[in-house]
A and B are shown apart, each in its own frame.
Chain A
Amino acid sequence: MLTLAILVPLAGAALLMMASGLGLRAARWTAVAFAAVPLLLLVIVWAGFDNGPGAPAFQATAEVPWIPSLGVAWRVGVDGISLALALMSALLFVGCVAWPMENPDRFRAYYAWFLFLECVSLGLFLVLDLLLFYVFFDLSLVGMFFLIGRWGHGEAERAALKFFIYTLAGSLAILLAIIALVLSADPVTFDMRALIAMQPLAGMDLRGGLILLGFVLGFAVKTPLFPLHTWLPPAHVNAPGPASAILAGVLLKMGTYGLIRIPFQMLREAFAAWSLPIALLALASILWGSIVAFAQTDMKRRIAYTSVNHMGYAVLGIAAAGALLTGSEGARSFALTGAVVEMVAHGLITGALFLIAGGVWARAETYEMDRFGGIAQVAPKMTVAATLAAFASLGLPGLAGFVAEVQIFVGAFAVFPWIAAVALLGILITAALFLRMLQQMFFGKLSEARAGFADLAPRETTVLAVLLALVVLIGLWPRWLLTLVDGATQTILGG
């Protein structure tokens, strides 16, 4: 089932490349259909997912041997964390593919790259083999590189190159760490489940620390954490809106997901020993991301920097959850569940924000906020969507971000009280910067240059409505999501 979810988009991509006679509309709907199949499959997996006590940690598993001598195999399976992230990613892909292209040029290739990217993104969340994980981790760069470089605007190629090189450097650190980790295992295996159970580096101080450093460095680039975040703003600013939404919504999650799955789960002792520096790095990201975002004059750069801030919360939760090997289970499971919910919430919220930003570019060809004003008058639907997304992003109760952040703060406070307390300042600054953005762009007097600014088209409205409806649902009644994620965090922290 999961294998199918990974391969169907790839088949769709191949089909799109070959079907040369396809028009824009047909290509788009083909892509939407292929993008939606994994979502459907994942919902079926979710429906059959057993959350009861004693249920296996990873479910819907399948295994096909590949290189037995190295312990490499095609292994797929999900726990509550990866299933939640994969579901969110699949949904976001459907939305981004359905979203109108900013520049309908070479559209078959555009949609093919999106499906390719969906294949590798889902692959990353669904596989249970470290080698495959690494392959998908790297291939995600390729897909995003072409989407930014070929369909972006401004200095797109330069930004794409920077994104590629920077994150590739990070992934090389991960590759080294993976090899070292696997070689420490006895017998050698790339099976994540076996490695988690084995804890191959338990009791090894220096080696454990070095391998941890490799993973943390690589994932910190991808997440991104301060001070390794500088590839993010140019990549976002020059990317087309839907690619930006995927970059922020799905690709950044690979960093935090990897952090949980590999160093946190496989190197428990080393992670616990180094959790304080990681938490401090997260705090720096939270504060720096929000402060720098506040000073941006470019709408998309501002949103991009808030991603640094929000992913900082997620990493803070992860660090707090992994800080101890035993004790404070309640608070630590809060922190970890909160971190995962933050990833899901950030995917939906920031995905929506970047799609809106893409819509703004498609209409005005600028992101400079002071060149707008009063567009609420001509674009009321976009104003409502932007306001809702902005409030969700600043953590307003009743919306998804709050559920995540309150759990992270509460959980982290039990472990790192001072860091959690100082991190609270982040939600104050994000409040100021988002409200300022709304004020500058949507309110005030409508300038003549923007008199023809069109409101959201029906297709855009539908996509945003689905994403934001989920944001509201998670905010008001998150039980279905929390139960799913909490089952996994209990297993991780209990075992």
Chain B
Amino acid sequence: MTLWLVPLLPMLAGIAIAAFGPQSRRALAAISGGVLAATLILAVLAVAGDWTGALDWGGGIALTARLVPLSALILVMVPAVALPVTVHAALHEAQRGLPRLVGLMLLFTGGMVLVVAAADLLTLLIGWELIGACSWALIGHDWRDRDNPASGLYAFVMTRFGDLGLFLAAMAAFGATGSFAYDALGGLQGPVLLIVAYGVLLSAASKAGQVPFSPWLFRAMAGPSSVSALLHAATLVAAGAYILARLHPVLSAATGWSVTVLSVGLATALAGGIVAVLQNHAKRLLAGSTSAQLGLMFVATGSGYPGVAALHLVAHAFYKAPLFLAAGLAGDRAGTYALDRLRLGRVMPLVAGAAAVAALALAAIPPLGGAWTKEEILKAAEAAGPWVAFGVVAAGAMSAAYATRFLLLAFGIGKADDESPAWPEIVGPLALSAVTLILSALWLGPVSGDLAALLGIALPEGSRFWLALSLLVVALGVASGVYLSRESPDLGTAGTAAAAADWLGLPTLVFRAVVQPFERLATSAASLDTRAVDGGIRATVTLMEWAARTSQRFGEAATDGLPEGTARLTSLAGRDLRRLQTGMSHHYYAYLVGGLALIIVFLALGA
């Protein structure tokens, strides 16, 4: 069977649902759930049967799809996370435009599956840009408020800037090897390898919301919370971490690449942690945390353990998605995402429970699976050096602090003054958190050992010292999270904290350093162009008047037709515009006559 089937099923179904989908929530949930379940089954079959795909575009271009163990893992993860999230969207999100929302989420998932299955840079680029476009449509889903499409534009353009890196990588790779295939990248050397390696890194960093591209993740919060869950857990953002892990074997040969990946990741992990701790907006807190967690995956890949990054990507997907869904339920109920005004633990205890499991995994509290993968990253960082390990420990402290703060403020004990959400709205987060619980099995040596062996993943060796330090620091982080939520629940609503919480001023910097100068450049270029137009008009008119006068002077001596034509030509230039059309044919014939005369002259000269 062909591997194309796996991305095509959700894509085609998604387009069909967006165009003709039913309005009924249950029907939408059933259809989209069925499609994604089928996609999941296909993905498992594809992994088991080692399916491949190839499509000849002609003209020397072929698209190819093939799996390696690492991509097989992500191929199964993507529909597995998308299934509960999309069903939740069908059951919970606003009714208006619901078929379009659900259909686009399927298309989005299909695009991500294509990214995972790709075996060459061109196929990758197709999936890569497709998920970018889907994110535009999904973030701007509620287009009646123009701020939403504007946020979608921000996200799309900023991630597309990164896509240029992938374009460049594909161009350089093809120029050097005559092929886009991943397999051909192994032979690259010198500047071409540098272009490919850093081009891929640029696009991965922008998709994964790493510094300095992080602000788009905040703008992406304009979309419905189900979209955020999908985008942050399984698709767009995940694509960045995935592709670095997937291409690590070939790209790590480029000079300084691993160190750069590691530095970008560590910087984002720390900065994202600070931003998330200071945020008062529930979804933005989670968005900051996404950047930070993806940063940790970059650290793992940069340290030489891409498999560990992939495992953390899976664990992160299963705890981040329910957190977003829970935040959406809370925010929609309270009418605000301001953390200091939620405390809905008693209103929606089951949601709070699901969020608690996921938040503890985010905080990396054993025995949850998220804690295991984070400690594996710490071990990988140890291999890269003590400073890196120290950075990861510090980032872990902040994860613990913001996860605790989120949980206590959003789902702390408040008033039970409202009905709890109906079952259909709770199923999604509960199912995802259940998987997070199941992933706790990773702490069992045989389980994780077997999994790593199955996927061909090398697990790093680490010392007890760092593990102990890390667990201690996590405990401190939790304690400070509790302290912050008790003592200053309105942290990040005013003053320096609020300013820093807006991605440490990065959005302002982007606006002042890129957006504004470009708009000024465009405006002045346009006015220059318009002035050139005016100049052109004037020059043309002047030229024609001159031509008309000249030909009139010589016209008397020429044929009978010419004076007539030139008289009309004069009128063309100026006053009676109404007569221009009739004059034009004469004008035209005058030129033809001139042209013929020229031909004759040339012939005479040539003969």
Is B58's CB under 8 angstroms from A482's CB? yes
Inter-chain CA distance A337–B172, complex, in Å, is: 19
Which residue of A333, A397, A442 is within 8 Å of B125 (Cβ)? A397
Is A428's CB under 8 angstroms from B168's CB? no
Given A146-B581, A445-B144, the answer on whether A428 and B157 have CB atoms closer than 8 Å is yes
Instruction: Write the nearest CB–CB distance from A14 to chain B, whole angstroms.
Output: 17
Is B522's CB under 8 angstroms from A292's CB? yes
Q: Report if B29 contacts A (CB, 8 A).
A: no
Q: Which residues of A415-441 have CB atoms within 8 Å of chain B's CB atoms?
A: 417, 420-421, 424-425, 427-428, 431-432, 435-436, 438-439
Is B537's CB under 8 angstroms from A162's CB? yes
Which residue of A142, A161, A407 is within 8 Å of B59 (Cβ)? A407
Residues of B with C-beta under 8 A to A288: 525, 529
Inter-chain CA distance A417–B174, complex, in Å, is: 12
Given A149-B581, A443-B140, A444-B143, the answer on whether A438 and B57 have CB atoms closer than 8 Å is no
Inter-chain CA distance A439–B143, complex, in Å, is: 8
Inter-chain CA distance A436–B150, complex, in Å, is: 8
Residues of B with C-beta under 8 A to A478: 57-59
Is B59's CB under 8 angstroms from A483's CB? yes
Is A376's CB under 8 angstroms from B58's CB? no
Q: Which residues of B166-188 have CB atoms within 8 Å of chain A's CB atoms?
A: 167-168, 170-172, 174-175, 178
Residues of A with C-beta under 8 A to B60: 330, 333-334, 486
Given A376-B143, A424-B168, the answer on whether A391 and B133 have CB atoms closer than 8 Å is yes
Residues of B with C-beta under 8 A to A424: 164, 167-168
Most buried by B among A146, A331, A428, A486: A428
Is B149's CB under 8 angstroms from A486's CB? no
Q: Report if B540 contacts A (CB, 8 A).
A: yes
Q: Which residues of B46-71 have CB atoms within 8 Å of chain A's CB atoms?
A: 55-61
Inter-chain CA distance A391–B130, complex, in Å, is: 10
Is A334's CB under 8 angstroms from B59's CB? yes
Inter-chain CA distance A428–B162, complex, in Å, is: 10
Q: Report if A61 contacts B (CB, 8 A).
A: no
Looking at the complex, which of B76-84, B307-315, B591-599 is the stretch in contact with chain A? B591-599
Residues of B with C-beta under 8 A to A371: none
Q: Which residues of A108-167 have CB atoms within 8 Å of chain B's CB atoms?
A: 138, 142, 145-146, 149-150, 157-158, 161-162, 164-166
Q: Report if A199 contacts B (CB, 8 A).
A: no
Most buried by A among B55, B144, B171, B522: B171
Q: Report if A363 contacts B (CB, 8 A).
A: no
Is A482's CB under 8 angstroms from B59's CB? yes
Q: Report if A314 contacts B (CB, 8 A).
A: no
Inter-chain CA distance A450–B161, complex, in Å, is: 35
Inter-chain CA distance A476–B175, complex, in Å, is: 23
Is B580's CB under 8 angstroms from A161's CB? yes
Q: Report if B602 contacts A (CB, 8 A).
A: yes
Given A424-B164, A445-B144, the answer on whether A291 and B521 have CB atoms closer than 8 Å is yes
Contacts across chains A and B counted by CB atoms under 8 Å: 186
Is B522's CB under 8 angstroms from A413's CB? no
Interface string of B100-123 (1 = CB under 8 A from A): 000000000000000000000010
Residues of B with C-beta under 8 A to A183: 602-603, 606
Residues of B with C-beta under 8 A to A362: none
Is B532's CB under 8 angstroms from A157's CB? no
Given A157-B581, A377-B144, A424-B167, the answer on whether A435 and B175 have CB atoms closer than 8 Å is no
Q: Report if B85 contacts A (CB, 8 A).
A: no
Inter-chain CA distance A438–B146, complex, in Å, is: 10
Residues of B with C-beta under 8 A to A443: 140, 143-144, 146, 148-149
Inter-chain CA distance A86–B305, complex, in Å, is: 55
Given A165-B540, A391-B133, the answer on whether A172 and B591 have CB atoms closer than 8 Å is yes
Is A444's CB under 8 angstroms from B146's CB? yes
Given A162-B540, A168-B591, A398-B130, the answer on whether A176 and B525 have CB atoms closer than 8 Å is no
Given A295-B522, A428-B164, A436-B153, the answer on whether A166 and B536 have CB atoms closer than 8 Å is yes
Q: Report if A213 contacts B (CB, 8 A).
A: no
Inter-chain CA distance A58–B160, complex, in Å, is: 41
Is B58's CB under 8 angstroms from A486's CB? yes
Q: Report if B544 contacts A (CB, 8 A).
A: yes
Q: Report if A409 contacts B (CB, 8 A).
A: yes
Q: Report if A454 contacts B (CB, 8 A).
A: no
Is A179's CB under 8 angstroms from B598's CB? yes
Looking at the complex, which of A18-26, A229-237, A241-249 is the stretch in contact with chain B? A229-237
Q: Report if A414 contacts B (CB, 8 A).
A: yes
Q: Report if A240 contacts B (CB, 8 A).
A: no
Q: Which residues of A436-495 have CB atoms within 8 Å of chain B's CB atoms?
A: 436, 438-439, 442-445, 477-483, 485-486
Closest residue on chain B to residue A436 by CB atoms: B153
Is A234's CB under 8 angstroms from B170's CB? no
Instruction: Write the nearest CB–CB distance from B533 to chain A, whole angstroms.
Output: 4
Q: Report if A347 contacts B (CB, 8 A).
A: no
Q: Report if A294 contacts B (CB, 8 A).
A: yes
Please report the total number of B residues contacting A with Cβ < 8 Å: 68
Is A230's CB under 8 angstroms from B577's CB? no
Q: Report if A344 contacts B (CB, 8 A).
A: no
Given A157-B580, A413-B175, the answer on whether A425 and B532 have CB atoms closer than 8 Å is no
Inter-chain CA distance A168–B149, complex, in Å, is: 44
Closest residue on chain A to residue B572 by CB atoms: A161
Residues of A with C-beta under 8 A to B511: none
Which residue of A374, A417, A481 is within 8 Å of B175 (Cβ)? A417
Residues of B with C-beta under 8 A to A230: 529, 532-533, 536
Inter-chain CA distance A414–B153, complex, in Å, is: 32
Interface string of B121-161 (1 = CB under 8 A from A): 01001111110010010001001111011101100110011
Which residue of B129, B164, B536 is within 8 Å of A397 (Cβ)? B129
Q: Report if B336 contacts A (CB, 8 A).
A: no
Q: Report if B458 contacts A (CB, 8 A).
A: no
Residues of B with C-beta under 8 A to A421: 168, 171
Inter-chain CA distance A37–B604, complex, in Å, is: 43
Residues of A with C-beta under 8 A to B144: 374, 377, 443-445
Which residue of A161, A168, A376, A431 is within 8 Å of B157 (Cβ)? A431
Q: Report if A88 contacts B (CB, 8 A).
A: no
Residues of A with C-beta under 8 A to B526: 291-292, 295-296
Most buried by A among B61, B145, B521, B580: B61
Is A410's CB under 8 angstroms from B129's CB? no
Q: Which residues of A296-345 have CB atoms within 8 Å of chain B's CB atoms?
A: 296, 330-331, 333-334, 337
Is B56's CB under 8 angstroms from A479's CB? yes
Inter-chain CA distance A337–B57, complex, in Å, is: 13
Inter-chain CA distance A322–B171, complex, in Å, is: 18
Q: Report if A403 contacts B (CB, 8 A).
A: yes
Is A150's CB under 8 angstroms from B581's CB? yes
Inter-chain CA distance A438–B157, complex, in Å, is: 14
Given A331-B174, A396-B133, the answer on whether A479 and B57 have CB atoms closer than 8 Å is yes
Closest residue on chain A to residue B152 by CB atoms: A435
Q: Report if A259 contacts B (CB, 8 A).
A: no
Given A410-B175, A428-B157, A444-B145, the answer on whether A397 and B140 have CB atoms closer than 8 Å is no
Is A295's CB under 8 angstroms from B533's CB? no
Inter-chain CA distance A145–B172, complex, in Å, is: 45
Instruction: Write the nearest CB–CB distance from A200 to chain B, whole angstroms.
Output: 13
> Can you list 9 A-B pairs, Cβ within 8 angstroms, ordered by A?
A179-B598, A233-B533, A292-B522, A377-B144, A391-B133, A403-B57, A425-B164, A428-B161, A431-B156
Known: A158-B577, A443-B143. 14 other contacts (CB 8 A): A142-B588, A165-B544, A175-B595, A291-B521, A296-B526, A396-B129, A397-B128, A413-B172, A428-B161, A435-B136, A439-B149, A443-B149, A444-B145, A486-B58
| CB-CB nearest 5 A-B residue pairs | A444-B146, A482-B59, A482-B58, A295-B526, A397-B126
A residues touching B (Cβ–Cβ < 8 Å)?
A: 138, 142, 145-146, 149-150, 157-158, 161-162, 164-166, 168, 172, 175-176, 179-180, 183, 188, 227, 230-231, 233-234, 288, 291-292, 294-296, 330-331, 333-334, 337, 373-374, 376-377, 391, 396-398, 402-403, 406-407, 409-410, 413-414, 417, 420-421, 424-425, 427-428, 431-432, 435-436, 438-439, 442-445, 477-483, 485-486
